[in-house]
Amino acid sequence: MIRWIRQQLGFDPPHQSDTRTVYIANKFPQHGHYIPQRFADNRIISSKYTIWNFIPKNLFEQFRRIANFYFLIIFLVQLMIDTPTSPITSGLPLFFVITVTAIKQGYEDWLRHKADNEVNGAPVFVVRSGSLVQTRSKNIRVGDIVRVAKDETFPADLVLLSSDRAEGTCHITTASLDGETNLKTHYAVPETAVSQSVSRLESLQAVVECQQPEADLYRYHSQSDHRNPPHTVSLIPLGSENLLLRGARLKNTKEIFGVAVYTGMESKMALNYKCKSQKRSAVEKSMNTFLIIYLGILLFEAILSTILKYAWQAENKWDEPFYNQKTDQERNSSQILKFISDFLAFLVLYNFIIPISLYVTVELQKFLGSFFIGWDLDLYHEESDQKAQVNTSDLNEELGQVEYVFTDKTGTLTENEMQFRECSINGIKYQEINGKLVPEGMTEDSPDGSVPCLNGEEELFLKAVSLCHTVQISYDQTDGPGDPFSHANGFSPQMEYYASSPDEKALVERYLMTFCLSLGEKVLFTKGAESAVLPYTTSGEIDKTRVHVDEFALKGLRTLVVACRHFSADEYQEVDRRLHEARTALQQREERLVEVFNFIEKDLELLGATGVEDKLQDKVQETIESLRLAGIKVWVLTGDKHETAVSVSLSCGHFHRTMNILELVQQKSDRECAEQLRRLARRYNTLAHPFYRCDVCLCLCRIKEDHVIQHGLVVDGASLSLALREHEKLFMEVCKNCSAVLCCRMAPLQKAKVVRLLKTSPEKPITLAIGDGANDVSMIQEAHVGIGIMGKEGRQAVRNSDYAIARFKFLAKLLLVHGHFYYIRIATLVQYFFYKNVCFITPQFLYQFFCLFSQQTLYDSVYLTLYNICFTSLPILVYSLFEQLVHPHVLQSKPALYRDISKNSLLSFKTFLYWTFLGFCHAFVFFFGSYILMGEDTTLMGNGQVSVSPASLPSSLLFSYSRSCVSVAGLLLC
């Protein structure tokens, strides 16, 4: 705390320079000029409160709500002035609401503390005093040498010093950081790679000079200062390949040693913690609007009652009647202060028109109702043993308001399980038949077990596919003797492949075990998307391969293009020299590397292309059709190439064969993009002239009037960027009025931008984004509702989503059934809360006309206290949890029922006015019904006996009896 105060006052800034000096093993210099730097400890803190700040911080957050702050003011007014009701009537309900909410939020934060303690208390091994010492993760300091074993996560950001491998390398996975499940290779500092024992590590005399912590996961620049005998100093540049990030996991390596450079909340993982923007549902926004309207009604009634009171008391007989003589102090008091006091008294008298328990009842309904999603067996995937998961219960009703669904393709609509199907080698297409490559048009005629002869082009292509990849193989160690060369032959049953993508894994599993060929020359192999490779090829069957790639894409296959470049000895030496200079540069390292790579990757020889199949998930087509019938438009946002994306869209039912497809692809400039947009519109007579201001309206009218032919739009990432620069309005309006939109070659940030554009359009549609990979996180967080698929690309999307399901097909029931129920239930709950309070307080307002606006209360204090928090909250809460107006099977079989609740129809202003008007009508019936009942020849006493004729009673006594009858009517209401 003292350090924090000093930092805030500027006396102890956390980082006094742009760099930090880390002394390995904390061997600080002994001379007197050294000033130690202060670093964060290794604790991770994701909790919101502490035991010291919970009460003040939680109270501050709760009283930021309008209703809670309003009742706090009313409670304070009741304490300060003479009011007609006891302070308990406002204080007790307020205390109940605040307490329940605090307990809920405190419990959730306790779970976060518990998770933090598990991480911070995890056992780790640190080199101290010449030996390995076991300690807790939170005790790691910057400069400590840490040992990490296989399959363990790194407890801090470490610079790799050594590993059990002779070359000083290790393999890690970063699925918890960026969702990538492939193995990444990292390298030890060359001077310390041989230091594989604790004693040698302890004797190191070295310093790491690095930049201060930053959030970029892939950026790290530093240098290592090693003092070698005799008194020589060597400077070694370090990069991201030397840094092991906290949260990553060690794989395929027995153990490593690393020095901690960033710890705790200064680690790159902690700096990438993104506080999600608070998502608010349409129901909550409507609820706040209704609350403000009722505050206006309250103020109107209080002001009107105050004015009428003074108008009534203008006559002396009512201002100072014989039975209520004023004191001298009352006669001499300020009229302004008295007016304010009376206004506040009426405000207290009518304050229960605001439902104080609305927020807590809604929170309970959402929290308890969210369990039904996890309990639904129809959302349970037996093969993976995964059930639906609710990460936030604040958006349950939003599932019933979705108008647009943005979905990823790979792993969301498809299985993300790749199988090799076809390839093109030197302009000839090959198909896989029974595990063998057969040229197109031929049949398998080679006997089993024989190895076909390969020509030069085929051999070089297979070399490229076998060698140009990032796949790593992990072998499970078995006890006892065995064949040490069995792994090399590819026959070990314990092999496990780790690849950067399922495409690579499919290709390597197909070829790696058969073609292990040595290269006698320097050859560069490269593979990638045709848009990235073909522009740099100068030889080979370019035209034929391009045609084959398009054919593969039309079949829905994922394509990769393979190329190579041969280097002479001199060329290779030049390339190696330039690469070494760029990699060891301390300044502008990335720019220099890009320049060298551009020099290397040119004049390529095209070898061929591959086609890998990714199967559709079960019932994807039926799900998309159900969403379309429900009035929900589906947009597919994918990084695949145009032809592949269109083929998959057709196969999954996103595009129909009879649909008119509009294309906005391969646009090179703003002008070209604008002309293409106008050209597409003119094809259907939608634009009369490119300069008319009404061109958008004409386009929309034409599309809306065409009920026979549905339109679909295909746009790629480059064209999208151009279209959104100058022609955003025309582009987005045409998109919104197309039945389906397919965006291909999309970057992750482009996905989020498309969602944001539609989300912030004038119509403010409710959007839902669904995906399974780390590249989908941005659009999942941007959409009103984010759905994560528990797929094969890590858990990044699931952790950042609002809801998580195992398969895309479960989306139909999640929206059409659960979303339908949640919305109807909570809409009824909200409207009922305002309705019942109008019924309850309006008789109190009417009663003032019969008691000379004396601020006399109509209800008993206990009844005022319990009406909101007990009598009328519990029944509607039970209703809002279990009510099913329509059977779930009917909702799924008739998706069009989803349209009936769209556009927040049950909480529209018209519906709100109906409920409010109904409340006032019922309040008049309760009050004047009781008045008429009490005005007859008999009057009921409190004990149920018949009293004297009310005609002989004064009106004030008559209404004393009437109050009990109105209270009974209010009790019957609840």
Cβ–Cβ < 8 Å for 743, 655:
no
Question: Could you give the 3-state DSSP secondary structure of residue 245?
Answer: coil
Is 772 annotated as ligand-binding?
Answer: yes
3-state class of 756 per DSSP? helix
Q: Both tokens of residue 775? A: 């590249």
Residue 273: how many other CB atoms lie within 10 Å? 11
71 class by beta-carbon count within 10 Å (0-12 exposed, 13-18 middle, 19+ buried): buried
State the angle between helix axes of 670-682 and 695-705 in degrees (0 to 180), rounded to the nearest 10. 40
Q: Is the separation of the CB atoms in 233 and 177 below 8 Å? A: no
Six-digit token string for 722: 């151009």
Cα first-last separation, the chain: 52
Kindly list the distances between the CA atom of residue 293 and the CA atoms of 281, 289, 296, 353, in Å, as whole numbers in the listed order.
19, 6, 5, 11
Which two structure tokens, joined as six digits, stand for 546?
């391009």
User: 408 catalytic, yes or no?
Assistant: yes
Torsion angle of alpha carbons 82, 84, 86, 87, nearest 10°? -60
According to DSSP, the β-strands at 785-789 and 767-771 are: parallel
> Which amino acid belongs to residue 216?
D
CA 120 to chain centre: 25
Check the annotation: does 409 bind a ligand: yes
Consult the annotation and say whether 775 binds a ligand: yes
Instruction: Consult the annotation and say whether 558 binds a ligand.
Output: yes
Q: How many CB atoms lie within 10 A of CB 431?
A: 16
- What is the dihedral angle through the alpha carbons of 750, 755, 757, 760, rounded to the nearest 10 degrees? -150
Please indicate if the annotation marks 527 as binding a ligand: yes
- 361 CB-contact burial (10 Å; exposed 0-12 / middle 13-18 / buried 19+): buried
Distance of alpha carbon 704 from alpha carbon 328, whole angstroms: 77
Q: Is 776 annotated as a binding residue?
A: yes
745 belongs to an annotated ligand binding site: yes
Give percent helix, percent strand, percent coil of the chain, each to the nearest 5: 45, 20, 35
Place of tokens 């094969």: 792
* DSSP string across 418-437: EEEEEEEETTEEEEEETTEE
Q: b/e string for 727-740 if b means 16 or more Cβ within 10 A?
A: beebbbbbbbbbbb
Pairwise CA distance, residues 194 & 412, whole Å: 45
Enumerate the H helices of 586-651 as residue ranges. Answer: 589-600, 620-629, 642-651
| Distance, CA of 786 to CA of 506 (rounded, Å) | 30
CA 274 to chain CA centroid, Å, is 10
Which structure tokens are listed for 50?
Answer: 């502490």
Indicate the burial class of 800 (C-beta count within 10 angstroms; 0-12, 13-18, 19 or more). buried
Asked if 37 and 21 count as a contact pair (C-beta separation under 8 A), the reply is yes
User: Nearest Cα to 357, choosing from 67, 685, 780?
Assistant: 67
Is beta strand 785-789 parallel, antiparallel or unpaired with respect to 803-805? parallel
Residue 61 annotated as binding? no
Catalytic residue among 144, 178, 408, 614: 408
Which string of b and e fits 437-450 if b means at least 16 CB within 10 Å?
bbeeeeeeeeeeee
Per the CB < 8 A criterion, the answer to whether 400 and 823 are in contact is yes
- On whether 638 is known to bind a ligand per the annotation, the reply is yes
**504 marked as binding residue:** yes
Amino acid at the residue 276 = K
* Cα–Cα distance, 845 to 353 (Å, whole number): 11
**What number of CA atoms fall less than 13 Å from residue 794's CA on the CB side?**
26
Q: Report the alpha-carbon distance of residue 971 to residue 965 in Å, rounded.
A: 10
Determine contact, residues 741/735, Cβ cutoff 8 Å: yes
Task: Write out the catalytic residue numbers.
Answer: 408
Binding region for ATP: 408-410, 504, 527, 558, 638-640, 745, 751, 775-776
Binding region for Mg(2+): 408, 410, 772, 776
Binding region: 408-410, 504, 527, 558, 638-640, 745, 751, 772, 775-776
